Structure 1
Amino acid sequence: MYHARLDSGAAADAPSAPILPVRAADLAATGDPDWLAAEWERLEAGGRWPTQTHAFAAALEPLLTGQRRRLLCVLRDSAIAALLPICRAPGWRARWRMAGSCELFEPGDLLCEGADDAAALTALFRSLDRPLSLDRIPADSQLLPVLRSAMKGRGWLSVRPAPPCPMIRLDESWRDPESRFNAGRRSDFRRAARRAEALGQVTYETLTPSPGEFDALFDEAIGVEARSWKREAGSAIAVDRLRETFFRRFFRAAATQGKFRLSFLRIDGEAVAMQLGLIWSGRYWLFKIGHDDRFGKCSPGTLLMLHALRWAAGQKLESFELLGETEAWITRFWTQDHHACVRVRTYPFTAAGMIAFASDGAVWAWQRLQPRDR
């Protein structure tokens, strides 16, 4: 867990003590968690991703066991004006990275009140003697100019395209999602619906569970996912205890705030497809989907997706955020719209930085030498 004691080479100040008007600091893992949580949640109003929230960071605890963690912050008076949680594995070759990025493969970013506050982090980035690897951040992130400044004269910076994050911009037309597709697709939808109805009574629901209802419904949802190809692939929540603990904590916190949403397609009362998501910043964020392979012929995941889009448009939400990556089944079927992302790596002029640069350079050279498919 990230807590709140200053650890920036100077004496530690209590959170309530006077602080310089603008100051970069590294908040260590002891101190006042309530103050930190309140400050973090205040900054979330300007965030772009639910992965930037304090609830997300707090739920990561079991996934980061054994990692060294730092919280890079800018303090303005007695408040936090910018923050970025980073971590790294033990070992001399380990790189700093955004907390949770490797474990969950979702995009993230710096939280800050403004560009000037982000810029104040430059000194902290300059102090990192190990390379920093940010696998997916927005292409227009305020981290980019900060890192360029931090590396000037002290190392190299690599910025390359990363898998974008797919999304669907919602408007009134999505209240009838089938109408957004051509005649062939609409025919496919009707055929799938008839096949589902031939198996029993079909119902759809999008629920806002209370904390008391949460665990039973969450267990039902991950049980659906476990009856899919994801179990054998090892990506089902139910087969990974640590990831299950993360999602249970994260979504339970969202349920406590009334933000968690759980959708089911049921046939004769049995859940055969599910979606786990939340409402945040006026958007629907889809984290997990799954369907029971026994019902695959009626395309339950597609039918539930149509329901979820119809429901989200009816709530007048701005967009339907699919998270993950722009896989072929998304771009060919649902949307080609996305948030552009980049992969950023720093190589400070230190032994660790030069070793990382040589290692990455060898990989890039090998990739360039491989024959391309015609």
Structure 2
Amino acid sequence: MPATARALGRGGGACRLLVTRSMQGSLVGLSEVRHHPGWKHWQHLTADAPPFLGPEFFTLAAPLSPGKDPVVAAAWDGDTMVGALPLVHDHHCLRALRCDHSPGYDYCGSPDGVDAIWRVLRSEPGWSQLILTRVPTASPLATRLPALAAADGCPSLIRREHAHLYLELAGFEDRLPTRFRANLQRCERKAGDVALERIPVPDRAAFDDALAIEAMAWKRAAGTSIDADPRVAHLYRALVMLVGRRGQGALYFLRAGGRRVATLVAVEDRHTLYALKIGYDPSAAKLSPGHLLIWKVAADAAARGLHDVDFVGRDDDWKYRWTDRGREQLTVVIYRDNARGLAHYAMSALVRPHLPETMRDSLRSPLPRHCQRADIIGAHTLVGRIRGRLDRGLGIKSGLIRVIKPPPAREHLGEPSAFAAGAWVRVKPAEALRATLDSRDRTRGLLFTEAQWKTAGRVHRVTRQVRRLRDDHGRFRPVSRTVLLEGVDCAGEGPAPEGCGRHCPMMYRDEWLEPAEAPHRDPPCARHLRHARVRDLDEILAGLDLHGRRDGLTFMPEMRAYVGKRFAIANQLTTVFEYDRWITTRAPIYILAGLHCTGAVVGDRGPCDRGCALMWHEDWLQVDP
């Protein structure tokens, strides 16, 4: 056993070491590696790698990763670390140690070290899947590790992810589309005095300016700006200071007319500049400040001898204005040869690909799937559930009546509203509203609820027209001249719960609204919202019953589109109104900001324009502490 690895042990249990031929493998807690010679070895291994593959970045990213107990799987040649792979435990999985702000992930070290690392991982109990997300195609994690696993009877799957677009700097201006290049030059002339400001080691004031600019356009309102989470702000602040002192990055500003109008956080190695975070002042949007900044940064990087600019992250449309070249990324999943691992592999590789498209990648069973509207998620006793169901009626009498005397045929869709999606409207004042309501506070059968009276006289934006929906009895019906308004749901605004507690949008008849101008609003204040990442699909499916539910809550097929993504938490439900009373939910339920049912689950019976908020069981999320 190497002396370093022995020193890292904690009572014989924290460090697992296995000797394979001439190399040894160890699995050590990340916090322990930081205080021992292995840290210096790791730094040496990553000296020429991108800064986000260095041990310091993994340490900064660990608090934001979707798991706990980060570890380093290391390969040793004698007393020298020759390979390092940082991982994190997440239930029955070992995952790549990364977070939403990690530009990339890879193994650093000798290719032979992968063999030793696999052996020590193979001997580590407690995991059934090893999930390595967004690794380069040429990485030994994609070319060598799956073969080692297969030799030990552990199957694997490799999925292609979207590519990281990159811009080759040699002669890049000549390759830009003529019209795009002309627009850049026109914006530069229009902006006047344009200058690039590059600050390798920014002071606090400069970094605060960058945070303010980055949050200006839309990110602050969405809760995704850097300053929305103190831990994220700490990551970027510490990273910029660290790489700046080493000459591996800088904070950039674009100045136009003497003021800062755009900012970019970037790191670099000897060949590539990685554009991590970009933001601009929306008041200067007509100048295309983001594109001007990329133009100036790329020219500066080329002048300093770098080869390319890597637009890390998603392949957003604006990046294709610069390039269509991309570096392919892969996700490697290795399934352990135990019951749980092989069951996950069988579902992922053998069963799911052969299911019909409507069932693929959704639930494990072919049973019909329903929307969450019908779910009973309160902690009712069995007697309470039976009594509640009987009180609501079994639907036998009404079903027979519909068979004997079918209802008259109706149009599939109701009449459209006079107010289009995106239009601004004012809810009429209380007196004018009362003039539109009957003795039961209804207009054309739709109740104007107590919660809606608080919106009288206010201006809102229309989010959707409602022309067909599934009602509370499960029947589909057309709806005419009705809309949903942004930010108005049945839960009300106060601490006391209203409606049914599920935060479903409220419907407004055209008669209750009048056209309005868009209101003048101050920029939204920064809100430090908690966030949650949606767990991987295999983890979610493993906890569902045969009806596709967890504690009564349905995992709808469309929810799989949000797997692996991070969202702000809008609300947490602990009580709901069911069977004519408020009751505690069987488990904590979360509402994630901006996620609403599209109605796709109802298929040919739809559409359903109700736009209910999607509910998420706590086991489907990795909630930030």
**TM-score scaled by length of structure 2:** 0.51
What residue number does 2:251 align with? 262
The range that moved more, 75-84 or 241-250, is: 241-250
Secondary structure of the 1:274 match is strand
Alignment of 1:233-272 (within 5 A): 233-272=222-261
Alignment of 1:82-101 (within 5 A): 82-89=83-90, 91=91, 94-100=92-98
Q: Which has the higher helix share?
A: 1
Tell me, in whole angstroms, the C-alpha distance in 1 between the residues paired with 2:33 and 2:250: 33
1:272-303 Cα distance to aligned partner (Å, 9 max, x none): 10111123233212111111111111100011
Tell me, in whole angstroms, the C-alpha distance in 2 between the residues paired with 1:305 and 1:156: 43
Instruction: Sort the Cα spacing of 1:363 and 1:281 in 2 relative to 1 into closer, same or farther, 3 A.
Output: farther
Secondary structure of the 1:115 match is coil
196, 204, 210: which one aligns with 2:196: 204
What residue number does 1:317 align with? 306
Q: 1:65 offset after TM fit, Å?
A: 8.8
1:313-334 Cα distance to aligned partner (Å, 9 max, x none): 1111122122113333222x11
Tell me, in whole angstroms, the C-alpha distance in 2 between the residues paired with 1:269 and 1:159: 50
Secondary structure of the 2:274 match is strand
What residue number does 1:118 align with? 114
Instruction: Sort the Cα spacing of 1:194 and 1:120 in 2 relative to 1 into closer, same or farther, 3 A.
Output: same
Q: 1:79 offset after TM fit, Å?
A: 0.7
Contact 1:121 1:146 in 2 (8 A): no
What residue number does 1:232 align with? 221
Read off the aligned partner of 2:209 and give its amino acid letter: E
37, 40, 45: which one aligns with 1:38: 40
What residue number does 2:141 align with? 143
Tell me, in whole angstroms, the C-alpha distance in 1 between the residues paired with 2:54 and 2:356: 36
Contact 1:286 1:322 in 2 (8 A): yes
Q: 1:134 offset after TM fit, Å?
A: 1.3
1:338 equivalent in alignment to 2:338: no
276, 279, 288: which one aligns with 1:287: 276
Read off the aligned partner of 1:149 and give its amino acid letter: L
Secondary structure of the 2:314 match is coil
Read off the aligned partner of 1:36 and give its amino acid letter: G
Instruction: Sort the Cα spacing of 1:268 and 1:170 in 2 relative to 1 into closer, same or farther, 3 A.
Output: closer
Secondary structure of the 2:106 match is coil
Contact 1:151 1:348 in 2 (8 A): no
Tell me, in whole angstroms, the C-alpha distance in 2 between the residues paired with 1:302 and 1:356: 44
Q: 1:355 offset after TM fit, Å?
A: 4.9
Secondary structure of the 1:38 match is helix
Read off the aligned partner of 2:54 and give its amino acid letter: T
179, 188, 191: which one aligns with 2:183: 188
Tell me, in whole angstroms, the C-alpha distance in 2 between the residues paired with 1:46 and 1:8: 32
Read off the aligned partner of 1:133 and give its amino acid letter: I
Contact 1:6 1:25 in 2 (8 A): no
Contact 2:191 2:257 in 1 (8 A): no
Tell me, in whole angstroms, the C-alpha distance in 2 between the residues paired with 1:130 and 1:285: 34
**TM-score scaled by length of structure 1:** 0.83
Read off the aligned partner of 1:192 and give its amino acid letter: C
The structure having more radius of gyration, on CA atoms, is 2
- Stretches of structure 1 lacking an aligned partner (at least 5 in a row): 14-19
- Stretches of structure 2 lacking an aligned partner (at least 5 in a row): 16-20, 361-625
Q: 1:224 offset after TM fit, Å?
A: 0.4
Read off the aligned partner of 2:108 and give its amino acid letter: L
RMSD: 2.9
1:21-44 Cα distance to aligned partner (Å, 9 max, x none): 521111234366252321111101
Secondary structure of the 1:343 match is strand
Tell me, in whole angstroms, the C-alpha distance in 1 between the residues paired with 2:322 and 2:10: 47
Tell me, in whole angstroms, the C-alpha distance in 1 between the residues paired with 2:355 and 2:56: 40
220, 223, 226: which one aligns with 2:212: 223
Instruction: Sort the Cα spacing of 1:351 and 1:6 in 2 relative to 1 into closer, same or farther, 3 A.
Output: farther
Secondary structure of the 1:276 match is strand
Q: 1:71 offset after TM fit, Å?
A: 0.8
Tell me, in whole angstroms, the C-alpha distance in 1 between the residues paired with 2:89 and 2:106: 17
1:305-351 Cα distance to aligned partner (Å, 9 max, x none): 110111011111122122113333222x1112221111111111224
Where relative contact order (Cα < 8 A, 6+ residues apart) is larger, the structure is 1
Read off the aligned partner of 2:272 and give its amino acid letter: R
What residue number does 2:105 align with? 108
Instruction: Sort the Cα spacing of 1:258 and 1:34 in 2 relative to 1 into closer, same or farther, 3 A.
Output: farther
Q: 1:193 offset after TM fit, Å?
A: 2.1
Percent identical residues: 23
Alignment of 1:1-80 (within 5 A): 5-7=7-9, 21-28=22-29, 29-30=31-32, 33-45=35-47, 47=49, 49-64=50-65, 67-80=68-81
Tell me, in whole angstroms, the C-alpha distance in 2 between the residues paired with 1:297 and 1:344: 43
Secondary structure of the 1:135 match is strand
1:131 equivalent in alignment to 2:132: no
